[in-house]
Amino acid sequence: MKRVEQPNAGNQAMVHALAKIEVAVARTLAEAADAEETYHRVLAEIGTALGWEVGAVWEVSAVDDLCCVGIWQASPPETLEFRSLTERVTFKCGEGLPGRVWATGKPAWIVDIVEDANFPRAHAAVRAGLRAAFCFPIQSPRGIVGTMEFFAREPQEPNGALLGSMAVLGNLIGQFVVRRRAEHAAHRRQALTGAILRAALDAIITMDQEGRIVEFNPAAERIFGYTSDEVAGHDMAELIVPPSLRPGHRKGLMRYLETGQSAYLDRRVELTAMRADRSEFPVELAITRIDLPGPPTFTGFIRDITDLKHAEAELKASRARLVEIAATERRRLERNLHDGVQQFLNALSLKLRLMATRVADGPDVVGPLLTEAQAELATAVEALRELARGIHPAALTEEGLGRALAALADRCPVDVSLIEVPTQRLPETLEVAAYYVVAEGLTNIAKYAEADHATVSVTVGQKAMTIEVADDGCGGADVTKGSGLRGLADRVEALGGGFIVDSSRGAGTRLRAEIPTS
């Protein structure tokens, strides 16, 4: 093996050629081509000018070995096997020609591959007619990022001027690699940020220290009704902050710029925002300062909470209505007790007192009074029973929904078909809800529908129980007109279900409630 680390100086022509190569390579690296194209041109420039046959460039990979990332040859035919081997093989530090340059950080020269002990690709190289080789490191300020190697057809003595020149080129190429990697990383980060901005469900708006919009994502376009082109560079407060809140917003920004203090940064706050059509709506907002040198910029995440607020208000109203229904129900009981049962019992008490004074008059007098008293007591009991039915149907608790619905249908003055009712027992909340939907539905039919016929069906599926009460009457049922249907809707919605009334004039009425069973 004849490998010389400090080769001799070359002749005049060589020095001239090397100078030309350095200029050409520097120009190629300065031009913004992609990595593959740049490597190919650099290999061709060096190889052609030196009259060498094959050149390859290696980069240190993520798993810390050298991989060939570009290859060039002067005249194609018999080097194919060597080329494909070079493209396939990887080298650890110290291994083969590229690995040994990586290990030492210095250029290396092989006079004749046949005689070199550390050249794993020797057979293929010889079959390709390649004998001499040199290789130099691609150096970045942070260390070696790769190597570049060249092969010639004849054994060649080392050339010091050539290797010196290649060391210079190795530094230039190293700067190129580092720059390209930085660009690549920046590009990836940009693509990632772009994807996040595009996919976000919340509005993401970025503003500079003067409050001008510099970024407005698609969700912001959707929520506020502006395109990002329309708002870019405009004062954010003018566009999306309601006029009444603008002075506060500006003061807050000023205070932050002067003191670095803010009541809003990095917290979730609820505020009012304004759309392009000047309508105002509630939002949840989190603002953060972007950690970059220079004047501060801020990014805000804004969530439209209109629906949430609406649902909260609905829930509150529905709770209030349920409380009101209970109070009304209590008043009704009080009134019924007072007007009904109490009257009968008072009358009975009077009658008994009268009887007590007449006992001496004998059975002829007391007998009829006793019969009257009996009738009054029966009426009172009937009134009580009537009342109890309104509070909680005894049949429901004792005999289940199917029987209770049959009893409701029996009592209804309109002809009712029970199309389907559950035969099995269900959780109490479901049975009670179904009972009230049918009871209110049939009461309404008797009171308003002028119907010939009504149908009731309660079906229990895997996920939900469906209750339907329909009539062939005059239609025109309206949830907003009374309290009964509204109360049903509240009851059903409180169980996570849905309630709809389908009733156009002249076409009958259909109530449909769907309540989840689990």
Cα–Cα distance, 439 to 441 (Å, whole number): 5
Listed ranges 86-94, 214-222, 291-299, 481-489: which one lies at the site for Mg ion (CB under 5 A)? 481-489
Listed ranges 83-91, 277-285, 381-389, 474-482: which one lies at the site for ligand ADP (CB under 6 A)? 474-482
Tokens for 42?
């650099």
Give min distance, CB of 313 to Mg ion, in A: 25
> Contact, 409 vs 435, CB < 8 A?
no
Tally of residues, the chain: 518
Give min distance, CB of 348 to ligand ADP, in A: 33
Tokens for 513?
């409630």
Residue 509, interface with ligand ADP (CB under 6 A)?
yes
Q: What is the per-residue DSSP string for 116-163? A: -SS-TTHHHHHHTT--EEEEEEEEETTEEEEEEEEEESS----BHHHH
Q: Which does 471 bind (CB under 5 to 8 A by kind): ligand ADP, Mg ion, none?
A: ligand ADP
Give min distance, CB of 484 to ligand ADP, in A: 3
In this complex, which beta carbon is closest to Mg ion, that of residue 28 or of residue 444? 444
Interface pick for ligand ADP out of 327, 481, 507, 516 (rule CB under 6 A): 481
Residue 446, interface with ligand ADP (CB under 6 A)?
no
**Partners of residue 205 on adjacent β-strands:** 216, 300
Tokens for 80?
């194919």
> Contact, 73 vs 52, CB < 8 A?
no
Residue 318, interface with ligand ADP (CB under 6 A)?
no
Listed ranges 11-19, 145-153, 327-335, 443-451: which one lies at the site for Mg ion (CB under 5 A)? 443-451
Residue 448, interface with ligand ADP (CB under 6 A)?
yes
In this complex, which beta carbon is closest to ligand ADP, that of residue 161 or of residue 474? 474
Tokens for 199?
């996919």
In this complex, which beta carbon is closest to Mg ion, that of residue 396 or of residue 511? 511
Label residues 126-155 b or e (16+ Cβ within 10 Å = b). eebbbbbbbbbbbbbeeebbbbbbbbbbee
Residue 484, interface with Mg ion (CB under 5 A)?
yes
> Contact, 508 vs 501, CB < 8 A?
no
Burial of 224 from C-beta contacts in 10 A (0-12 / 13-18 / 19+): buried
Q: Which does 483 bind (CB under 5 to 8 A by kind): ligand ADP, Mg ion, none?
A: ligand ADP
Please choose, from the candidates 416, 406, 434, 456, the residue with its C-alpha nearest in 3D space to the C-alpha of residue 517: 434
Q: What is the dihedral of CA 378, 380, 386, 389, to 10 degrees?
A: -100
How far separated are the first and last CA of the chain, in Å rounded? 84
In this complex, which beta carbon is closest to Mg ion, that of residue 68 or of residue 442? 442
Q: Which does 281 bind (CB under 5 to 8 A by kind): Mg ion, ligand ADP, none?
A: none
Helix (H, G, I), strand (E, B) or coil at 295: coil
Give min distance, CB of 441 to Mg ion, in A: 9
Number of residues engaging ligand ADP in binding (CB under 6 A): 18
Listed ranges 135-143, 336-344, 418-426, 468-476: which one lies at the site for ligand ADP (CB under 6 A)? 468-476
Give min distance, CB of 448 to Mg ion, in A: 8
Number of residues engaging Mg ion in binding (CB under 5 A): 2
Q: E strands, 257-406, where? A: 268-274, 280-289, 298-304
Interface pick for ligand ADP out of 449, 489, 492, 513 (rule CB under 6 A): 449
Label residues 275-295 b or e (16+ Cβ within 10 Å = b). eeeeeeebbebbbeeeeeeee
Residue 485, interface with ligand ADP (CB under 6 A)?
yes
Give min distance, CB of 480 to ligand ADP, in A: 8
Listed ranges 35-43, 260-268, 427-435, 484-492: which one lies at the site for ligand ADP (CB under 6 A)? 484-492
Listed ranges 68-76, 92-100, 479-487, 489-497: which one lies at the site for Mg ion (CB under 5 A)? 479-487
In this complex, which beta carbon is closest to ligand ADP, that of residue 79 or of residue 444? 444
Interface pick for Mg ion out of 139, 165, 217, 444 (rule CB under 5 A): 444
Binding site residues, ligand ADP, CB under 6 A? 444-445, 448-449, 471, 473-478, 481-486, 509
Binding site residues, Mg ion, CB under 5 A? 444, 484
